[in-house]
Structure 1
Amino acid sequence: MTAAAVKSPKSQTPSPAPTDDEPLYAARRAIYPQSVKGRLRTIKWVLLAVTLAIYYFLPFVRWDRGPDAPSQAVLIDFPTRRFYFFFIEIWPQEFYYLAGLLILAALTLFLMNAVAGRVWCGYLCPQTVWTDLYMAVERAIEGDRRAHMLADAGPWTLEKVAHKTLKHSVWLLIAWWTGGAWVLYFADAPTLVVELATFQAPAVAYVSIMVLTFTTYTLAGHLREQVCTYMCPWPRIQAALTDEYALNVTYLYDRGEPRGSVKKAALARAEGEKVGDCIDCNQCVAVCPTGVDIRHGSQLECIQCGLCIDACDTVMDKINRPRGLIAYDSEANLEARIAGKPSVQRIVRPRTILYVALIALVGGIMIYSLADRTSEGLAAIHDRNPVFVRLSDGALRNAYTVRLTNKKLETRRFALTVEGLPGAKLTVVGIAPTPEGDVLTIGPDKTLEARVLVTYDGKLDPGASIPVTFRIRDLTGATGAAVSDHFIGP
């Protein structure tokens, strides 16, 4: 059979253009996804449990950072302007790490799309995870697809009111817990829980919880697929990033068409006629959380969750047909199979290699920067007027303003020295010399500005500008910092 002999059902029945009497947007129809069991559904349950457990319980994980430092493993501490992530501590001037994380997230999303289409949307997107959780609660209280549809179509009874009340109460409880967990990332979690329970927490905490409760309840409980179809920009962006080798949830129409019931298919096969494996049971549509019929080809509403694969495989098992009528497949592989050519699977290709290389590059730069950074800072500014002073004994003196930064949450003592000008004498104005040299004491998370005089009684060439280096050394450790400037002569 040639490629021209088999066409996608979608290509055979193009959608007519809207007329003046038709609305531009179709009215929303209620979607009642049916429960399904299978490999992909199990993967989704595992990911749901893992991601929600991380989100809800991570604020309670402890991490010892020593005295006077927060012990919460992950904390966004606005009062001290710090972001803590286990052993990593990010300071406000290191905003570029946030930019690096955003770049890594974008590149990872691009890589996932190049390999398996909207796999993020189907398995890891917060909207998908919370909607899955809300649907599970709905099925547990109101029953599966058929029972839920019959109840909604029937009259309001005491039982129906009780079910609806219980469902929305549980939804609101989940939404409230979601909002409450979010604020715990911005303060010590156990302490804030007590303050919230005793109504002693800051007003911003209660407002944040109410806002997130409302948004979670609305988006996951009511809007659901509307968020993916109309509110999220990613479906439109990813269409421009994908190619024919990306794996997507695909109906293998070369194998499934023409459709027919089990009995008609058996008779047709006995007579040697061409018949597809699809029996038009609509189970793929019934389990879809967005109500998509995957047999019409790739669609904007499809989040590539793969539940239709599990539903179709279950039906294929019952009618003794091979699994995989709906599967993760690429457009290139589908066209090659129709043309009678070998299968084409190209996970490793220039696009994916580029994304992996960029991820490795950005990640490597961030890791190196984290490993090479120090917990102190030093800056020096040379006086502009006068640039030098000739003393009565003939020595030259240059003045500098030196600023030291202590990024730790503890008081530290630094010894300040100057290098590059042998025999030069360094004096810190207002600081008495000690046996350890010129020592500057800086409080926790503070900066200190000092006026520094460098005196040199040696000979300099006319118009000389000698490079010098100011260096600080932590007297309680081996860390330090340095900055370069110039010693200027006549």
Structure 2
Amino acid sequence: MNKPVLPTEMEYDDNGPLYVAQKKVYPQSVSGTFRRIKWGLMAFCLGVYYLLPFVRWNRGLGAPSQAVLIDLPNSRFYFFFIELWPQEVYYFTGLLIVAALTLFLMNSMGGRIWCGYLCPQTVWTDLFYAVERLIEGDRRERMRKDAARGTLKLERFAEITLKHSIWLMIAWWTGGAWVLYFNDAPTLVKQLVTFQAPMLAYIWIGILTATTYVLAGFLREQVCVYMCPWPRIQAALTDEWALNVTYKYDRGEKRTSLKKAIELRAHGETAGDCIDCYQCVAVCPTGIDIRNGPQLDCIQCGLCIDACDTVMKKIGRETRLIGYDNDINIHRRQAGKPPVYRLVRPRTIVYSAMIAAVGAVMLYAMLTRSLLDVNVLHDRNPVAVRLSDGSVRNAFTVRLLNKRGFDRVIAIDVDGPANVTVHVVGVDSVTPDRPMIILARDTTTELRVLVTAPLEENAEKSIPVKFRVTDIGLGEVASATDHFVTP
């Protein structure tokens, strides 16, 4: 009996590679339910990404007319009827929380649905594969042409040149579409064509063109297997009830050829439905064999299901030898019990409830948010000044935010100290005892406000003071508090 070799007794090659060299994958084209779903989602995702910057939205005279715009110079984010300011960054925080919880919910129900159907790496890689098949042919033809690379002919050179040219065009437009979200799209396109756009736009287009071309054209499945952290995270988040792309070995084993299976069954012996055709391997974008069980490389795209279903139909056997399932149901079928699917369970209920709660809070905050805001900052040097008439004056910097798309008249009131008077430096008001000013639309206005009160009626060292600003036309009110300090 051979003695097992212990790790300490093994010989290591110090000159060996630190990682496994990339083995090129040649996914074969396939048709079926999941392939059609992928085509549909690809068309939808790419259509939204490329065309959304050109969608117009009327926000009034002088306001940006682009439906989705990240206006960095003016610190604004526009999404159709929604306009967010830098002070409202918490909406983005809530959106990220909802996105993460949605990802967890998808994983708990159907494994790596995001990876297989919606991930940008998957979408663009699928598109690049489609271009490659269109120009160079399907799996076997591409493998044959790559094997004969040493005898490169003019026709083959033309194919490679055309393929990479189209890849670069797709990558270039991908980078170009991204920068359109940061400026008016038609205007920026005209500037880019006439070479009058800012240099920063060309730099970002170049960076995104290069990354798209390299990631989708060359690294492909390497991104999913080695660069992306999500496969490792989702493995820790999943449970035994999650539906993953699964080879149903209770039906498939033992594997044998179609002819051999017929002979075995004729003699009353057991033979599985799997005929070792390897079509599931041929169509896999990461080149794995799903029959070997759950693997980190599997992106759960469902293409192996379509390939296997096609074979099963041809040989007259039941489809879904590979399908979305779990080990619990495999064991139940082996025990002669019907499969059970538990999409609704504590885990999915908690995720759904958290998504609903965060979404409801964000919606409530959005519907009830004030479009008039005020912030107050007390002067620190000096904190208070005693005037010749015996009164005390405090100075404040008041910042007013008008988030509406039109000018409006606001009145400033101060509550707290007795017999207080308010003066806005550099602003004339028709009512001196109650300053009224015009706030320009969609802007932040900073004012210097002097608050004066008699000392004999305000003996306390520090008195709470409340600034109220009121929209005269709409009646909208905003307030902020500080302190009135005496010497």
Give TM-score, length-normalised by structure 1.
0.89
CA separation in 1, counterparts of 2:426 and 2:158? 77
Given that residues 424 and 447 in structure 2 are in contact (C-alpha distance below 8 angstroms), is that contact kept between their aligned partners in structure 1?
no
Q: CA RMSD, aligned part only?
A: 2.6
How far apart are 1:321 and its partner, in Å? 0.7
Deviation at residue 456 of structure 1 after TM alignment: 6.6
Match of 1:150 in 2: 144
- Provide Cα deviations, 1:70-119, integer angstroms capped at 9, x if missing partner: 10001111111111111111112222222222222111111111111111
Tell whether 2:176 aligns with 1:180.
yes
For residue 276 of structure 2, give the secondary structure of its aligned residue in structure 1: coil
2:30 matches 1:32: no
Cα separation, partners in 2 of 1:433 and 1:208, compared to 1, 3 Å = closer
Cα shift at 1:337: 2.4
State the Cα distance separating 1:407 from its structure 2 match.
Answer: 4.0
Answer yes or no: is the 8 Å Cα contact 1:376–1:404 preserved in 2: no
Conservation of the 8 A alpha-carbon contact between 2:50 and 2:174: yes
Q: Which AA in structure 2 matches 1:20?
A: Y
1:328 aligns with 2:324: yes
Is the Cα–Cα contact under 8 Å of residues 76 and 83 in structure 1 kept in the other structure? yes
2:12 pairs, out of 4, 15, 20, with 20
Q: Which residue of 1 aligns with 2:3?
A: none
Determine the C-alpha separation between the residues in 1 that align with 2:282 and 2:74: 52
Identity of paired residues, percent?
A: 58
Secondary structure at 1:417 match in 2? strand
41, 45, 63: which one pairs with 1:47?
Answer: 41
Q: Give the stretch that moved more between structures: 51-60 or 435-444.
A: 435-444
Query: Where in structure 2 are there 5+ consecutive unaligned residues?
Result: 1-5
Aligned pair partner of 1:202 in 198, 204, 207: 198
Q: Residue 478 of structure 1 corresponds to which residue in structure 2?
A: 475
Q: Is the 8 A contact 1:380 1:483 kept in 2?
A: yes
Give 1:195-234 correspondences, 5 Å limit: 195-234=191-230
Q: Which amino acid aligns with 2:32?
A: G
Q: Distance in 1 between matches of 2:205 and 2:99?
A: 26
Distance 1:383 1:292, change over 3 A: closer
Between 58-67 and 417-426, report the one with greater CA deviation: 417-426
Deviation per CA, 1:314-354: give whole Å up to 9, x if none: 11111111111000002222233233334231111221122
Do the aligned residues in 2 keep the contact of 1:380 with 1:400 (CA within 8 Å)? no
Shift of 1:479: 2.6
1:94 partnered with 2:88? yes
Q: Where does residue 11 of structure 1 map in the other structure?
A: none
Alpha carbons of structure 1 residues 398 and 81: separation in structure 2 relative to 1, 3 Å:
same
Of 450, 464, 468, 1:452 maps to 450
Q: What residue number does 2:257 align with?
A: 261
How far residue 433 of structure 1 moved from its aligned partner, in angstroms, is 4.1
- Cα distance change, pair 165–433 in 1 and its aligned pair in 2 (3 A): closer
Task: Say whether residues 1:78 and 2:72 are aligned partners.
Answer: yes
Contact 2:383 / 2:485 at 8 angstroms: preserved in 1?
A: no
- The partner residue of 2:128 within 123, 131, 134 is 134
Report Cα offsets for 1:197-251 as digits up to 9, x if no partner: 0010011111111111111111101111111111111111111111111110000
Q: 1:428 to 1:91 in 2, by over 3 A?
A: same
Partner AA of 2:300 in structure 1: Q
1:256-405 correspondence runs (5 A): 256-381=252-377, 399-405=394-400
Q: Deviations over 1:169-191 (max 9, x none)?
A: 11111111111111111110000
Query: 1:403 is aligned with what amino acid?
Result: V
Q: Deviations over 1:428-487 (max 9, x none)?
A: 455444259411334452322222325479967x74976553211223433331123456
AA paired with 2:252? G
Q: Secondary structure of the residue that 1:63 maps to in structure 2?
A: coil
SS state of the match for residue 222, structure 1? Answer: helix
Structure 1 residue 140 displacement after superposition: 0.6
CA distance in 2, matches of 1:82, 1:382: 27
1:406 maps to which residue?
A: 401
2-structure distance, mates of 1:310, 1:19: 45
Deviates more, 1:157-166 or 1:287-296: 157-166
**Does the 8 A contact of 2:408 with 2:473 survive in 1?**
yes
Is this contact kept in 1: 2:225–2:296, CA < 8 A?
yes
CA distance in 1, matches of 2:376, 2:166: 60
- Would the aligned equivalents of 2:394 and 2:484 in 1 still touch at CA under 8 Å? no
Alpha-carbon distance in structure 1 between the residues aligned to 2:428 and 2:451: 13
Partner residue of 1:6? none
- Distance of aligned partners of 1:433 and 1:217 in 2 relative to their CA distance in 1, 3 Å threshold: closer
Partner deviation per Cα, 1:40-96 (whole Å, 9 max, x = no partner): 000000000000000000000000111111100011111111111111111122222
SS in structure 2 of the partner of residue 240 of structure 1: helix
CA distance in 2, matches of 1:487, 1:217: 62
Q: Amino acid of the residue matched to residue 12 of structure 2?
A: D
Q: Distance in 1 between matches of 2:240 and 2:480?
A: 54
Instruction: Give the alignment partner of residue 418 of structure 1, picking from 381, 397, 414.
Output: 414
Residue 368 of structure 1 aligns with an amino acid whose one-letter code is: Y
Kept in 2: contact 1:33–1:287 (CA 8 A): yes
Separation in 2, partners of 1:267, 1:189: 67
2:115 to 121, 137, 153: 121
Q: Distance in 2 between matches of 1:103 and 1:195?
A: 37
Between 414-423 and 97-106, report the one with greater CA deviation: 414-423
Give aligned pairs, total.
472
State the AA in 2 paired with 1:215.
Answer: T
2:402–2:439 CA contact under 8 A, matched in 1: no
Residues 430, 35 of structure 1: alpha-carbon distance in 2 compared, 3 angstrom cutoff: closer
Residue aligning to 1:161:
157
CA contact (8 A) 1:471 1:482 kept: yes
Match of 1:105 in 2: 99
User: How does the TM-score come out when normalised to structure 2?
Assistant: 0.89
Q: Which consecutive unaligned segments of at least 5 residues does structure 1 have? A: 1-15
Would the aligned equivalents of 1:255 and 1:277 in 2 still touch at CA under 8 Å? yes
Whether contact under 8 Å (2:465, 2:483) holds in the other structure is yes
